[in-house]
Chain A
Amino acid sequence: MDVLNGLLHGFSVALQPANLFWCFVGCFLGTVVGILPGLGPAATIALLLPLTFKMDPAGGIIMLAGIYYGAKYGGSTTSILLNIPGESSSVVTCIDGHAMAKNGRAGPALGIAAIASFIAGSVGILLLTLMAPPVAAFALQFSSPEYFALMCLGLALVVLLSGPSLIKGLLSLLLGLWLTSIGTDLFSAQARFIFGQSELLGGMDFVVVAIGVFAIAEVLASIDAGDKARMLPVPKGLRNLLPSWEELKACRFAFINGSLTGFVIGILPGAGAAISSFIAYGIEKAFSKHPEKFGQGVPEGVAAPEGANNADSGGALVPLLTLGIPGGGTTAIMLSALVLWGVRPGPLLMTESPDVFWGLVASMYIGNVVLLILNLPLVPLFAQILRTPVHILFPIILGISLVGAYGVSGRLFDVALLVGFGLLGYIMVKLRYPTAPLILGFVLGDAMERALRQSLTMSQGDLTILVRGWISATMLICAVLILLLPLMGRFNKARVQAIAEGG
C-alpha cells in the first residue's frame, strides 16, 4: 500500500500544470538531443542546470529526467535513417534498423523503435516503482568478478553478431579490444598506444568510432557502388509508414526481452545503456527461429535494443534514488543537480523527499506517453528524409557526422579520428569484415579489462575469485555455451550427414 500511496502522491505532484509543462519540455528537449549526434543528454543537462536553480526541485528533476530518457527515444532516429548512432545506446539499432530502412521499411522501423521504447520504458518504471529497494540490494551484490562475467557474456555474443565468417568476426573484435586500450591506464597511470599524441591520453570517444565505422563507411561504400547507389525506397501511403501487424507480432518476445534485460543491466552502476542494448540484441538473436536474418532488417533486431536502452533508464534510477549512487555520466549530473537544489540524494531520499522521488516516478509514466505522442506523428515526416536524392543526402550525412564528432569535445583531432575510422570501416566493408564486433569490443573491452584487474587485485592474483560467486559462475557458463553453440551446430550437421550417408 505504501507504494500505491506514494504513487498517488507522485501523480498529484506530477500532474500539477507547471510540472506537466516541465515534463513536456524535458521530453521534447530529450528527443531533439537524442536526434543530434555528439550532443548528449549529459552535456545538455549540464548546460541547462544554471537555469533550473530557481525551480522547484520536483519540477527540476522531472525536466532533467525527461531529457535523460527522452534522448534515448530520439537516438534511434538517425541510427535507422542515416546509420548515424545519435547516442552510444543506439549503436545496435543501426544494424537492423538501417537495414530495414534500406528495404523500404524506414517508417515501420521508426514506429517499432517508438513502440518498443514506450513499452520497455513503462515496464522499467513499473519495476522501479514496485521493487526499487530490493533490486538495489541485488545490484550491490555485483562485484568486479560479476562484471567481468557479464562482459564475457557480452563478448561471447560476437559469435552471433559476426555473420557468415566467425574468424573475420573475431578479428574485428580484437581490433575493437585493442582500440579501447588506447589512452591512460587507470591502474598504472601509464599511457598506452598513444604514439606521442597527447590528444589520445584520454582514449577515443565511442561516438567518434561508431559514427566513423558505421555512417562514414556506409556513405563511402555507397558512393563506391556507383550507379547502383540510388535513393532508398520510401513507399507512399500511411499504411506503409507504420509497422504492420505481422511485424509487431514478431516483436512480442523482443518487447519483453528488451524490458527485462534493459532494466536488470540498468541497475548495475558499472554497466551502461550501450551494454544492455547489445545483450538484449544478442539474446534476441540467440533465441530467434531465424537468426540468419538478423542484420538484414528484422523488426525484432530494432525492438530488443531500443526497448533495452529505454528500460535501462528506469533501472539506472534505482541505485540513484535509493542509494545515492549514480551509474553513469548523466545520472551523476542529476545527482549534483539535486544537491544544488538543496535535496539530499541518498538512502533517505525516498522518505525525506517524497515529492521528489514519487513526483519523478509518476512523471516518467506521463513522460513516456508524451514521448510516444511526440514521436509517432514524426515518423512519416522523418521517413521522408530518405526521399532526398543521394547527392544531397550524402553530404548531409557527412556534415552531421563531422559536426557530431566535433561536438563530442570540441577538438578537431576527433574529426580527424572520425575520418580515419570512416576509412577503416570502408576497408572492412569492402573486405567483408563485420563492423559490429569491433564496436562491441570497443564498448566492452575497457570495462572487461578493468573488472578482471580489479578482481585479481582483490584476490591477490587468485583466478578462482572469478567463479566463486554463483552469479559470475552462471554467466561464465552461459558465455561458454554461447561460444560452443556454432560448433555444436556444425557437429550436428556433420553427424546428420554421416548418418544419412551411412544409412
Chain B
Amino acid sequence: MIGSWTPGLAALALVIAAVPAQAQQFKPTRTIEFVVHGGPGSGNDVFARQLSTIIDQEKLSPVRVQVVNKPGGGSTSASNYMASKKNDPHVIACFTNIWLIDPLVQQAAVNRLQDMSPIARLVVEPALVVVLADSPYKTLGQFIDAAKASPGKLRWSGGSIMSRENTVRQLLMQKTGARWQFISFPSGGERLAALLGGHVEMMIVDPSEAGEQIRAGKFRAIAQVSARRLPGFPDIPTIQEAGFDIPDVPQMRGVVGAAGMSDATVAFYEDMFLKASQTPLWKKFVEESQLDGEFVRAKDLKPFLNSFEATLRDILKDAGVKVVR
C-alpha cells in the first residue's frame, strides 16, 4: 500500500496541475488524521471521536479516520501541526472559535484558520443566560437595569476574556451602556459553583449543563444565546428577542483541511461530513447535546469566517485585549 501511494500521489499532483481541479476525484489512500486541539476527553475530542465513530460505522470513508490530539496553547499546537502538514490531503482538523481568535491576539500564533482549507461548519452550540432561581432578575432587561443602577457591582462568571461569555457581555454593555464585572474561571465546574454559591449573579452556560440545574429548581434561564429558540426551551426569548439587538456570536465547530488542499479534496471531505451529518446517529447526538446542526458548506464557510473574524477583532479591541493582527 505504502509503496503504491507515493508515486500515486505524485501522479495525482501532476494531473491536478495539468487539468482543472474539479474534474478530478479525490480518494484517500491512507489513514486520515483528524487533529483535535484538546486533550483526550475535552469537548472537542469527544466531538471528533463521535464523528469518526459514525464515519467508521456507516463506512463513509474508504480508510480509517484517526483522531490525533495536539493539545497546548489553545489551538496553537494543533494549528502548528496543520501548518507542518501543508499540502497533505490526509490531514484534517476540528476547529472552533479559538482557531480564529488565537491568531488575532497571540503574536506567536501565526497560522490563520482561513489560510488552511476550510471544509464545513458542522454545528453551532447555543447557550443559555441563567441566574439563580431565587434571583430578583426575571428577565435580561431587569438585570441590565440593575447593572445600570449600580455600575460594576454585578458579576458574571465565565471562561477566558476571549470566550463567548465575555463577547456577549461586551456587546450588551456597548449596546446598553450598563457595566458589570466578568470573573474568569478556568473550568466549567468552578463557573457553575460560583453561581450556585451566590458569588456571582449570572452566567452563560450550555443547555446540557444548565438543563439539570433548571430542572432541579436551582437555576432560571432568562435568555438564550442562539439565532433561534431551542426546542427544549420554547418559552425563553433569545437575546435579540429580549430587545437587545446585538450581532449573533455563534460558538461553532467545524472541519478544516491542511493548507493547499485541492478543490476536489475539499469536495470529498465536504461530502463525507455532509453524509455523516445526515445519519440518525449524528442527529441523535446533536439532539441530545442540544446543538444547532445546520451544515455550512465550504463555499459559504470562507466568507463567513472572514466576516466573523472582523466582528471578533472589533469585540476583542473593545474588550481591551491587545489585537496583534
B147 CB, min distance to chain A CBs, angstroms: 13
A325/B41 in contact, CB under 8 A: no
CA distance A348 to B217 in the complex (A): 10
* Chain A hits for B160, CB < 8 A: 184, 186-187, 189
Q: Which of A191, A339, A344 contacts B108 (CB 8 A)?
A: A191
Q: Is A194 in the interface zone, CB < 8 Å from B?
A: yes
CA distance A144 to B102 in the complex (A): 27
Q: Is B301 in the interface zone, CB < 8 Å from A?
A: no
A43/B41 in contact, CB under 8 A: yes
Q: Which of A186, A190, A336, A346 contacts B184 (CB 8 A)?
A: A186
A46 CB, min distance to chain B CBs, angstroms: 3
A202/B41 in contact, CB under 8 A: no
* Chain A hits for B49, CB < 8 A: 49-50
CA distance A196 to B153 in the complex (A): 38
Supposing A189-B321, A346-B216 touch, asked if A140 and B193 sit within 8 A by C-beta, the answer is yes
Q: Which of B69, B74, B193 contacts A270 (CB 8 A)?
A: B193
Supposing A339-B208, A457-B183, A460-B152 touch, asked if A43 and B190 sit within 8 A by C-beta, the answer is no
Q: Which residue of B lies closest to A347 (CB)?
A: B216
CA distance A31 to B76 in the complex (A): 33
How large, as a class, is the contact surface on chain A? 35 or more
B321/A188 in contact, CB under 8 A: yes
Q: Which of A275-283, A327-335, A491-499 contacts B (4 or more CB under 8 A)?
A: A327-335
A194/B108 in contact, CB under 8 A: yes
CA distance A328 to B181 in the complex (A): 25
Q: Is B136 in the interface zone, CB < 8 Å from A?
A: no
A187/B184 in contact, CB under 8 A: yes
Q: Which of B85-93, B194-202, B259-267, B292-300 contacts A (4 or more CB under 8 A)?
A: B194-202
How large, as a class, is the contact surface on chain B? 35 or more
A269/B212 in contact, CB under 8 A: no
B41/A333 in contact, CB under 8 A: yes
Q: Is B22 in the interface zone, CB < 8 Å from A?
A: no
A346/B215 in contact, CB under 8 A: yes
* Chain A hits for B240, CB < 8 A: none
Query: A45, A184, A187, A194 — which one has the most chain B CB atoms within 10 A of its CB?
Result: A184
Q: Is B177 in the interface zone, CB < 8 Å from A?
A: no
Q: Is A143 in the interface zone, CB < 8 Å from B?
A: yes
Q: Is B247 in the interface zone, CB < 8 Å from A?
A: no
Q: Is A410 in the interface zone, CB < 8 Å from B?
A: yes
B212/A345 in contact, CB under 8 A: yes
B77/A269 in contact, CB under 8 A: no
Interface string of B37-60 (1 = CB under 8 A from A): 001110101100100010000000
Interface string of A129-141 (1 = CB under 8 A from B): 0000000000111
Q: Which of B110, B218, B288 contacts A198 (CB 8 A)?
A: B110
A458/B187 in contact, CB under 8 A: no
B189/A336 in contact, CB under 8 A: no
B281 CB, min distance to chain A CBs, angstroms: 11
Q: Is B239 in the interface zone, CB < 8 Å from A?
A: no
Q: Is B188 in the interface zone, CB < 8 Å from A?
A: yes
* Chain A hits for B7, CB < 8 A: none
* Chain B hits for A327, CB < 8 A: 189
B41/A336 in contact, CB under 8 A: yes
List residues of A (175-223) whose CB comes within 8 Å of B's CBs. 183-184, 186-191, 194, 196-202
A409/B213 in contact, CB under 8 A: no
* Chain B hits for A141, CB < 8 A: 197
Q: Is B72 in the interface zone, CB < 8 Å from A?
A: yes
Q: Is B155 in the interface zone, CB < 8 Å from A?
A: yes
A198/B73 in contact, CB under 8 A: yes
CA distance A269 to B193 in the complex (A): 8
Q: Which of A191, A201, A269, A336 contacts B46 (CB 8 A)?
A: A336
A325/B192 in contact, CB under 8 A: yes
Query: A43, A143, A187, A201 — which one has the most chain B CB atoms within 10 A of its CB?
Result: A201
B161/A332 in contact, CB under 8 A: no
CA distance A141 to B199 in the complex (A): 8
CA distance A348 to B76 in the complex (A): 39
Q: Which residue of A lies closest to B38 (CB)?
A: A46
List residues of A (95-150) whose CB comes within 8 Å of B's CBs. 139-144
A-B pairs with beta carbons under 8 Å apart, 10 shown: A183-B73, A202-B71, A202-B77, A328-B187, A342-B288, A345-B212, A346-B212, A409-B72, A450-B184, A457-B155
> Which A residues contact B (CB, under 8 angstroms)?
42-43, 45-47, 49-50, 139-144, 183-184, 186-191, 194, 196-202, 269-270, 319, 323-329, 331-333, 336, 339-340, 342, 344-348, 409-411, 450, 453-454, 457-458, 460
Nearest 10 CB-CB pairings of A with B: A346-B212, A201-B73, A46-B41, A46-B40, A140-B197, A347-B216, A333-B41, A198-B108, A202-B73, A143-B199
> Which B residues contact A (CB, under 8 angstroms)?
39-41, 43, 45-46, 49, 53, 69-74, 76-77, 80, 102, 105-110, 152-153, 155, 159-162, 181-190, 192-194, 196-200, 208-209, 211-213, 215-216, 218, 288-289, 316, 320-322
| 4 more CB-based (< 8 A) A-B contacts, given A198-B73, A346-B212 | A187-B161, A187-B184, A202-B72, A324-B212
